[in-house]
Amino acid sequence: MYLPSPRCTGSTSKLLPSVSLSLSWQRLNHSFTGQIMASDGSAKGDKAVAKFHEYLVGCKRVIALSGAGLSAASGLATFRGAGGLWRSHDATSLATPGAFNRDPALVWRFYSYRRHKAMQADPNAAHYALAELARRLPGFQHLSQNVDGLSQRADHPREQLQLLHGTLFEVKCNSKVCDYKEENFVDPIVPALDIPHDSHDPTTNKALGKDKKGKELDISDASVKIADIPREDLPQCPRCKKDLLRPGVVWFGEQLPTQVLSNVDEYFDEGDVDLIMVVGTSAKVYPAAGNIERARMTGARVCVVNMDENDAPAGGWEPGDWFFKGDAGTIVPELLRPVIGDVKMPSAKA
């Protein structure tokens, strides 16, 4: 069913979102009023896609709000639902300053594991599609909640990519009185955080003489034993030499980067938004999720791409919204095709 949604003519006063990261467990709107659904999990050939294409080509100002589902096609865990645990810990419980202060070794294990997996992964077609949209459409802004670095590796124009939650590949001093910060792509960041290997597994490349370390163990599984790491073997701040380094991500309860918030505010101040695409996120984490309603207030239409049809956008569904169920890596390039053409993927690694 499709119900046309006229452009909003009400106030465009911007919402002032909270500047700290928090979760909102608001009740989902299950009525799906006005929703356009791609029934087969694929965007191709669907009437909804044609309607979306027709609208997209007239858009001048577009936002993408992306989450972990954008990188799922690259093989990265979303840490949601049944897969939301890491060594029996709720992944969100490890993403707090308190967790780091209580058990920095556990938190560093978690983030070092994520860094390792992100470095092994490749950007998928959706990353490249959004990067190409940025090059083709000056009025496009990508508000990313992802910390995996895959959008950057897809050559996404940096000025049109706002990293709301920071990045795994930046570290900073945990001390409030030390401002040390740097990019870091060393894997592992310190030897103690190296992923353990099973050198006795005959099914690994070691049997072929290709890998002297053996099969990499899945330390996300709580049954896999890992050694304790003394505090002195964790990443240390080289400037103050008194505290640990920590991942350069935004944890729950922390402020979002001031410059990023300023960039987003400036974008909204520059004019009305035609479309906001919500890709691979349940949009429950604020203040990021508040940008959906903020865009609606200027008249934006909402398009959701997600594996879970129960993930309503913040504020619920409204007439004229689109919902496409399926893999972002397949659907996003097809949705953007009228503007970006075919996505050009780099040649496979040798």
Which of the residues are catalytic?
A: 165
Task: Give the ranges where 154-241 is alpha helix by DSSP (H).
Answer: none
Peptide bond into 188 cis (omega under 30): yes
8 is in an annotated binding site: no
* Nearest C-alpha neighbor of 70 from the set 28, 16, 126: 126
What does the alpha-carbon distance between residue 248 and residue 173 come to, in Å, rounded to a whole number?
A: 9
59 is in an annotated binding site: no
What does the alpha-carbon distance between residue 219 and residue 265 come to, in Å, rounded to a whole number?
A: 40
How are strands ordered across the β-sheet holding 166-173?
Answer: 181-183, 166-173, 245-249
Q: What is the DSSP string of 134-148?
A: HHH-TTEEEEE---S
Question: Are 74 and 122 within 8 A, CB to CB?
Answer: yes
Q: What are the distances in angstroms from CA 4 to CA 1, 30, 77, 116, 323?
A: 10, 19, 36, 46, 14
What does the alpha-carbon distance between residue 197 and residue 193 come to, in Å, rounded to a whole number?
A: 12
328-335 vs 125-136: helix axis angle to the nearest 10? 30
Terminal-to-terminal C-alpha distance of the chain? 47
Cross-strand partners of 304: 278, 323
Question: Are 318 and 5 within 8 A, CB to CB?
Answer: yes
- One-letter identity of residue 246: R
Question: Are 297 and 10 within 8 A, CB to CB?
Answer: yes
* 310: its two tokens: 């129960």
Q: Is the dihedral of CA 313, 318, 321, 326 positive or negative?
A: positive
Element (H, E) at 167: strand 166-173
* Nearest C-alpha neighbor of 150 from the set 182, 118, 189: 118
Show binding-site residues for Zn(2+): 173, 178, 237, 240
